[in-house]
Amino acid sequence: MAWTSLCELSELEDGQGKYVEIEGFQLAVFLSNGKVYVMDNYCPHAGGNLAGGFVDDGCAVCPWHYWPFHLENGQLRDSPGVKVKTYETRMYEHEGRHLVQAELPMP
């Protein structure tokens, strides 16, 4: 596992997703109530782009069919057996920049 910078905090809009592709990962980054969350960008229902969705009641909502996945653990709100992979996040300040980082598995 390695901490990897994904974007600057200023690039995120509260309640909206941001798509980040880095080192073979396709990720959805969300800012909700001042906290950053990172999950795989792929909705298991029909392959929707989760980063194109929005946050509602603590969930990232897929824009295709409105499936809501909990930001904290990636579980589908109404069906805990369905899940999207989530990643630990942290803020990292470097040379005056506030970077969003996720702990990603490295080969």
pLDDT at residue 107 in the model: 72
Give pLDDT, residue 80: 81
DSSP 12: -
- What are the tens digits of pLDDT across the range 60-81? 999 999 999 999 999 999 998 9
The position carrying tokens 């959805």 is: 28
Q: Rounded to whole angstroms, what are the CA distances from 70 to 18, 30, 35, 80, 92? A: 16, 11, 13, 10, 24
pLDDT at 8: 97
Is the model's pLDDT at 51 over the cut of 90? yes
- pTM of this structure: 0.95
CATH architecture of 2-104: 3-layer Sandwich (2.102)
